[in-house]
Amino acid sequence: MLKINNLSKTFYPNSPEEQRIFSDFDLNIERNICTTIIGPNGCGKSTLFNLITGNIPSDAGTIILDGKDISKLPEEERSKDIGKVSQDPSKGVANNLTILENMAISMKKGEDFTLRSLLKNVDEEYIVKKLQEVNLGLENKLTTKVKYLSGGQKQTLALIMAAMKKPKLLLLDEHTAALDPRTSRIIMEKTQDLIHKEKITTIQISHNLRYVIEFSERIIMLQKGKVVLDVMANEITEEELTRLYNENIEKESLNENL
């Protein structure tokens, strides 16, 4: 479904700050399953997402999505097939617009429209139905500006919007990390309901190893831009994953101190 081959990225090349993030990196992601990427801060997880979306240009390598080479396509073009939700609840939504207007934007994604014509020919019934599905009462606040919503409500809205056009690939970059534990769990559960119901191939990034086991099918651990573990979630326990995670970090810091 997603095939990444020989991907390379170095920030600030040929300068004292040069930082190689990926070098000849390969990754294959299967259709319709939820894969989670874990790994310590700074190991390149978000950079990988940015390279996939085209937010950051790669130095070399190919990215094939559903048989199509997207490596050279601009971010805007890729966004028609790739939905993304990030950690910041204010990033995936337009804060100064209403819930209805935000939903209309996601329904018109890929079309030409102006702010003035945004609500023209918008299927409000469909929007209400989509909002009702997540059961947070968002359908009763259609004309409320999104800036007045809670972080959890915003993230749910961002998620519905990112999945609205059934993207070929959905990227979730720690999308519940800024939420309290209870809301975080609710959004994780709603995410799973949505991606399984709509059959959306998903890659998520998470630091919560319990969620990783519970809410994904495949787990990939990155360390310094390399895959150091690749297992199915039902083949590993939380304890074992935690042990492997800590072992890798310890090994790395040992290497750095040598």
Residues that bind ligand ATP (CB under 6 A): 11, 19, 21, 39, 41-47, 56
Beta carbon of residue 52, minimum distance to ligand ATP (angstroms, whole number): 12
- The site partner of 44 among ligand ATP, Mg ion, none (C-beta below 5 to 8 Å per kind) is ligand ATP
- Quote the tokens at residue 222: 């990155």
Which single residue is written with the structure tokens 């939820």?
A: 34
Closest by Cα among 202, 219, 204, 222 to 41: 222
Instruction: Please identify which residue in 35, 36, 46, 216 interacts with Mg ion, judged by CB under 5 A.
Output: 46
- Quote the tokens at residue 176: 């519940």
- Quote the tokens at residue 66: 């559903």
- The site partner of 11 among Mg ion, ligand ATP, none (C-beta below 5 to 8 Å per kind) is ligand ATP
Cα torsion 71, 73, 76, 81: sign: negative
* Residue 81 · residue 65 · CB < 8 Å: yes
Nearer to ligand ATP, 21 or 213 (CB): 21
Q: Is 153 in the site for Mg ion (CB under 5 A)?
A: no
Question: What are the angstrom distances between the C-alpha of 8 and each of 4, 24, 56, 58, 98?
Answer: 10, 5, 12, 6, 40
**What DSSP element (H or E) covers 188?**
helix 181-198
Nearer to Mg ion, 39 or 83 (CB): 39
Beta carbon of residue 219, minimum distance to ligand ATP (angstroms, whole number): 15
- The site partner of 167 among ligand ATP, Mg ion, none (C-beta below 5 to 8 Å per kind) is none
Beta carbon of residue 86, minimum distance to Mg ion (angstroms, whole number): 9
- CB proximity list for 196: less than 8 A, separation 6 or greater: none
Nearer to ligand ATP, 44 or 89 (CB): 44
d(CA 141, CA 122): 17
Nearer to ligand ATP, 11 or 126 (CB): 11
Nearer to ligand ATP, 127 or 219 (CB): 219
d(CA 113, CA 84): 21
- The site partner of 56 among ligand ATP, Mg ion, none (C-beta below 5 to 8 Å per kind) is ligand ATP
- The site partner of 130 among ligand ATP, Mg ion, none (C-beta below 5 to 8 Å per kind) is none
d(CA 57, CA 115): 30
Residue type, 20: R
- The site partner of 21 among ligand ATP, Mg ion, none (C-beta below 5 to 8 Å per kind) is ligand ATP
Q: CB under 5 A: which stretch of 28-36, 37-45, 101-109, 132-140 binds Mg ion?
A: 37-45
Binding region for Mg ion (CB under 5 A): 45-46
